[in-house]
């Protein structure tokens, strides 16, 4: 830290220097082993993620290369851009790897330094060193070099997307500085590296490498998608039969549009069904009589453009179904209706647009949102009848009705959820029990027919040390302190669980008996 001095130090300057050394030592002592171990775990996890991303990137590049070799005209330009992306990504990734290695060498010494490829938080002994990161990054100017590389890399990938992902990558590779507690500006280099223990700085650099590989992966996929963006495939002529509906109710009318794809607009074709010429616009209509599948064949005839040429004939065939008037009513969530709850239904009529379907309900209120029907029986209703009609060819026709029994909502079960595991009883590990994200939930379970939202309002924790109260769905600080003192084998009972359901009523749920592993 010292430089050339123009004059000898005064006693006051010597005192300030000594205080700085003491302060530095105190800061070093405050970097606990637990925190440094935490950095090691995060660094290990980031390396695992990077390995997975690199595997995917290599697979995508191999696929991209094969596509470029198969169709150079279509894919070659985009594959070359992907190669430039790979080169720039590897360059900044390797620079960061050297950055980490050099810090490790400064921290542990040359003889203790691992190989450049293996360097990580777990390979460095002096993880609590507070000096070498700033020395290497700031004093020797390597942080500024890294910052400039990030700026160039960010501009490069934003240009590749033609600014479509500008905000995303500006945020991912931001090199903005910050401010001190006094409000003074501070540059990016000092924000990231000043006063950082080696373990923290190595983890931050690994996170930067992870960002580079993640951005590279997203950009490879983006470039691969661009190869199909401007495709327009018109390589043959085909006849298409486009019916208004392929399902017709008896007494209704079947209507279809017959078109020729890529047809010359100056030539008007003739249309034939079973040898009979039909509407010159290619519209085929017939009154549906018998029930079941109805098939028909036809031919589109394109007249010759020049004298002496032959006409072009394009055969086609299609079908439609004729059925009795019917309605399909599907209860999405339940097999009965529940009182004072908006039961969710999908109601449709085959072959009829949703806006032409009419629903009336006896014994409940009904509303439609997002294509679904929500039916809420009253507090005294015992049965609800749903009647459905449809508008067909300008007239409303009844399609049928169905009745449902009305029951009270059943109580959900109570579970302690930690990670992806839900416990309603049994043994539990200490780290799962004390997971900061863990909470008490109300659920009908994976096999339940209902999926309703219940909010836990409170619960009590009962252990050998007594009872303690929560204020929501998570352990309170007092409860966490209580749990932290328990020994393996101790019983942990979550009792007096209160929850509010969709109808707004508070209910009391059964307890959750657990035993600490």
Question: Residue 92 above 80 pLDDT?
Answer: yes
- On whether both 338 and 318 belong to a single domain, the answer is no
**pLDDT (0 to 100) of residue 15:** 46
Most confident of 84-88, 196-200, 349-353, 375-379: 84-88
- Give the structural domain span for 432: 413-516
Question: Residue 286 above 90 pLDDT?
Answer: no
- On whether both 338 and 460 belong to a single domain, the answer is no
- On whether both 483 and 452 belong to a single domain, the answer is yes
| Whole-angstrom distance, CA of residue 276 vs CA of residue 287 | 16
Residue 425 lies inside a defined structural domain of this protein: yes
* Cβ neighbours of 375 (radius 10 Å): 22
CATH number of 394's domain: 2.60.40.60
- On whether both 359 and 460 belong to a single domain, the answer is no
Question: Residue 232 above 80 pLDDT?
Answer: no
Question: In the structure, what pLDDT confidence band is assigned to residue 14 with cuts at 50, 70 and 90?
Answer: very low
Residue 234 lies inside a defined structural domain of this protein: no
**pLDDT (0 to 100) of residue 32:** 60
**pLDDT (0 to 100) of residue 29:** 45
438: region left, alpha or beta (phi > 0 left; psi from -120 to 50 alpha): beta
The structural domain count of the chain equals 4
**Of the residues 407, 437, 454, which one is the last residue of a structural domain?**
407
- On whether both 356 and 488 belong to a single domain, the answer is no
**pLDDT (0 to 100) of residue 59:** 94
- On whether both 56 and 107 belong to a single domain, the answer is yes
Please state the rounded mean pLDDT for residues 417-442. Answer: 94
**Of the residues 352, 380, 407, which one is the last residue of a structural domain?**
407
| Whole-angstrom distance, CA of residue 247 vs CA of residue 93 | 59
More confident residue, 235 or 419: 419
Question: Residue 321 above 80 pLDDT?
Answer: no
308: region left, alpha or beta (phi > 0 left; psi from -120 to 50 alpha): left
In angstroms, how far is CA 172 from the centroid of its own chain? Answer: 18
- On whether both 247 and 262 belong to a single domain, the answer is yes
Residue 232 lies inside a defined structural domain of this protein: no
- On whether both 339 and 276 belong to a single domain, the answer is no
Strand partners for 383: 405
**pLDDT (0 to 100) of residue 297:** 93
Q: Lowest mean pLDDT of 41-45, 234-238, 470-474, name the range.
A: 234-238
Instruction: Give pLDDT tens digits for 351-400.
Output: 677 788 899 999 899 999 988 999 999 888 899 999 999 887 778 888 88
Do the bridges between strand 395-407 and strand 337-338 make them parallel or antiparallel, or are there none, so unpaired? parallel
**pLDDT (0 to 100) of residue 19:** 46
Question: Residue 108 above 90 pLDDT?
Answer: no
* Cβ neighbours of 238 (radius 10 Å): 11
**Of the residues 391, 407, 423, which one is the last residue of a structural domain?**
407
Counts of helices then strands in the chain (DSSP H, E): 10, 27
What is the pTM (predicted TM-score) of this model? 0.43
- On whether both 218 and 261 belong to a single domain, the answer is no
Average pLDDT for the chain: 83
DSSP-assigned letter for residue 517 = -
**pLDDT (0 to 100) of residue 33:** 64
Please state the rounded mean pLDDT for residues 218-246. Answer: 68
- On whether both 122 and 262 belong to a single domain, the answer is no
Please state the rounded mean pLDDT for residues 257-274. Answer: 72
**pLDDT (0 to 100) of residue 377:** 92
- On whether both 121 and 48 belong to a single domain, the answer is yes
More confident residue, 334 or 441: 441
Question: Residue 5 above 70 pLDDT?
Answer: no
C-alpha radius of gyration, the chain, whole number: 36
Instruction: Give pLDDT tens digits for 122-153.
Output: 888 888 888 999 999 999 999 999 999 999 99
8 A C-beta contact, residue 234 and residue 262: yes
8 A C-beta contact, residue 442 and residue 500: no
Residue 443 lies inside a defined structural domain of this protein: yes
8 A C-beta contact, residue 321 and residue 294: yes
**pLDDT (0 to 100) of residue 384:** 93
**pLDDT (0 to 100) of residue 263:** 53
- On whether both 317 and 332 belong to a single domain, the answer is no
């Amino acid at each position: 830290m010292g430089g050339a001095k123009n004059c000898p130090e005064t006693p006051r300057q010597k005192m300030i220097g000594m205080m700085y050394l003491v302060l530095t030592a105190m800061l070093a002592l405050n970097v606990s082993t637990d925190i440094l171990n935490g950095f090691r775990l995060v660094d290990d996890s980031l390396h695992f993620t990077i390995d997975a991303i690199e595997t995917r990137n290599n697979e995508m590049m191999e696929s991209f290369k094969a596509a470029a070799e198969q169709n150079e005209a279509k894919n070659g330009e985009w594959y070359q851009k992907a190669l430039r992306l790979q080169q720039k990504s590897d360059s900044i990734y390797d620079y960061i790897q050297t950055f980490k290695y050099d810090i490790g060498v400064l921290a542990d010494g040359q003889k203790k330094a691992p190989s450049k490829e293996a360097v990580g938080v777990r390979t460095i002994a002096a993880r609590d060193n507070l000096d070498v990161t700033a020395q290497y990054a700031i004093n020797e100017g390597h942080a500024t070099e890294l910052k400039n590389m990030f700026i160039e890399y960010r501009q490069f990938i934003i240009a590749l997307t033609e600014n479509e992902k500008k905000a995303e990558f500006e945020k991912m590779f931001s090199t903005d500085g910050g401010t001190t507690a006094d409000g003074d500006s501070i540059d990016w280099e000092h924000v990231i590296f000043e006063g950082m223990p080696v373990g923290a700085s190595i983890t931050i650099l690994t996170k930067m490498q992870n960002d580079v590989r993640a951005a590279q992966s997203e950009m490879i996929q983006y470039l691969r998608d661009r190869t199909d963006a401007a495709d327009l495939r018109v390589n043959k002529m085909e006849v298409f039969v486009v019916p208004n509906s392929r399902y017709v109710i008896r007494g209704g009318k079947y209507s279809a549009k017959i078109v020729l794809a890529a047809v010359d607009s100056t030539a008007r074709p003739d249309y034939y069904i079973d040898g009979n010429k039909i509407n010159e616009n290619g519209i085929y209509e017939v009154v549906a009589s018998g029930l079941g599948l109805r098939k028909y064949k036809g031919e589109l005839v394109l007249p010759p453009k020049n004298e002496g040429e032959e006409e072009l004939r394009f055969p086609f065939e299609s079908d439609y179904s004729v059925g009795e008037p019917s309605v399909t009513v599907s209860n999405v969530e339940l097999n009965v209706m529940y009182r004072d709850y908006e039961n969710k239904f999908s109601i449709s009529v085959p072959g009829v647009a949703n806006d032409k379907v009419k629903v009336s309900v006896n014994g409940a209120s009904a509303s439609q949102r997002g294509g679904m029907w929500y039916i809420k029986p009253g507090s005294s209703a015992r049965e609800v009848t749903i009647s459905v009609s449809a508008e067909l060819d300008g007239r409303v026709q009844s399609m049928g009705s169905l009745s449902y029994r009305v029951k009270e909502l059943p109580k959900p079960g109570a579970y302690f959820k930690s990670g992806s595991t839900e416990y309603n009883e049994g043994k539990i590990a200490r780290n799962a029990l004390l997971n900061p994200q863990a909470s008490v939930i109300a659920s009908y379970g994976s096999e339940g027919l209902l999926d309703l939202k219940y909010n836990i309002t409170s619960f009590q924790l009962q252990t050998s040390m007594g009872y303690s109260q929560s204020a929501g769905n998570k352990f309170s600080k007092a409860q966490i302190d209580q749990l932290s003192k328990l020994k393996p084998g101790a019983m942990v009972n979550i009792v007096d669980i209160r929850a509010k359901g969709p109808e707004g009523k508070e209910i009391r749920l059964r307890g959750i008996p657990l035993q600490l592993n």
